[in-house]
Structure 1
Amino acid sequence: MQGKLHLIKLSVGTEDLSGLEQWQKGQRLLHGREHGLHITRMWPKRESELLSGGSIYWVIKGAIQARQRLVRFDEIIGDDGIRRCGFVLDPEIIATTMATRRPFQGWRYLAGNEAPKDMPKSRASEPDLPDDMEQHLADLGLL
C-alpha cells in the first residue's frame, strides 16, 4: 500500500483479529448492510486521496494488525441532529504484519510508506503465535 494515503484507528475493546471480524459481521447482519461502517465525528479533509485506494488500518492491543479498504464516506445525521462521517468499509479484513502504535484519540492519517505490509496469503493457514511473541518479533522488525 506504498504511496497511498490511509487512516489509522484504534479498535477499542477488540482482543484479536477474530474479534474484529466477528463484531463487524454482527453489525452488518444487525443493520442489513453489505459493507462495514465506522461512524466518527470528523470528516477527512483529504477525502479524495483516501478514496484513491486507501484503507483504514486497525490497531488491536497496541499494534496494527489489519486493514480494510475505504469504499466511500457517507454523511450520517444522528438522533441529536449532529452531522457525522460514516467510513464505509469493504467487508474483507486483511491481516497485516504487526506494527506497534501508542494509544491515540480518534483517527489519524497514515502515509503509505508507514503502513505495514499485508500478511502473505500463504501464512493464513499457519497457527497464530502467542500475542506477546508476535509483538516482540514485530518490534524487532522480523514480522
Structure 2
Amino acid sequence: MPLHMTKIAFGAKSWDDLAGWYENRSEIKLTTRYLPKRHEEMVGGSLYWILDHHLVARSPILGFPRAPDGRWHIQLEPRLIRVDPLPKRAHQGWRYLTEEKAPRDLSDDEAAGDVLPGRLATKLQGLGLI
C-alpha cells in the first residue's frame, strides 16, 4: 500500500482557485527543501490537498526528482481527483497520510454540489447533524 501526503493549498481561496493551478499544465512540480524520508513509499501514492480545513482532492505522486538548485521537486500527475471532504487540521509543510486514513474518491455520478463546503460541514458536525 502506498503512503500519501497532505499539504495545504496555500493561496487557494476556493475549489476553483485550486483547480486553476492545474488548468492547461502538462506537469505539476512542487518544490521542497528536504526529501521526505519515506519518499520511496510515496511514489504511487497521492498528495491530498487541504482547503478550508478539509482534504478535498488528491493528485497522484509520480516521483521526487532533484531540482537544479539542490532542493527537491514533488512531481504530480497534472489532474485533481475530488475526494469525500475529510476534516484536517492546518499544518506547515507536508505530513504523511496512511491509506486507512485517506478519504475515498468521489464517484463520477457524485456532483461537486453533493459535497458540503468545508466550513458548513464542520459546523454541522459540531452540532451532531452529520
TM-score tier (shorter): 0.7 to 0.9
Is the aligned partner of 1:18 residue 2:47? no
Residue 73 of structure 1 corresponds to which residue in structure 2? 64
Q: Residue 110 of structure 1: which of 97, 103, 116 is its match?
A: 97
Question: Contact conserved, 2:54 with 2:118, CA < 8 A, in 1?
Answer: no
When structure 1 is superposed on structure 2, of 66-75 and 119-128 the one drifting more is: 119-128
| Unaligned ranges ≥5, structure 2 | none
Question: Contact conserved, 1:10 with 1:104, CA < 8 A, in 2?
Answer: yes
| Unaligned ranges ≥5, structure 1 | 29-33
Name the CA distance, whole Å, in 2 between partners of 1:134 and 1:39: 31
Q: Residue 7 of structure 1: which of 5, 8, 33 is its match?
A: 5
Name the CA distance, whole Å, in 2 between partners of 1:117 and 1:141: 21
What's the RMSD between the two structures over aligned residues?
A: 2.3
What whole-Å deviation, never above 9, does each CA across 1:42-97 have from its counterpart, x for those lacking one?
A: 1012122111x20000001111100000011111133xxxx211111111100011
Question: Contact conserved, 1:100 with 1:138, CA < 8 A, in 2?
Answer: no
* Percent of pairs with identical residues: 30
Q: What amino acid is aligned across from residue 75 of structure 1 in structure 2? A: R
TM-score, structure 2 length as denominator? 0.85
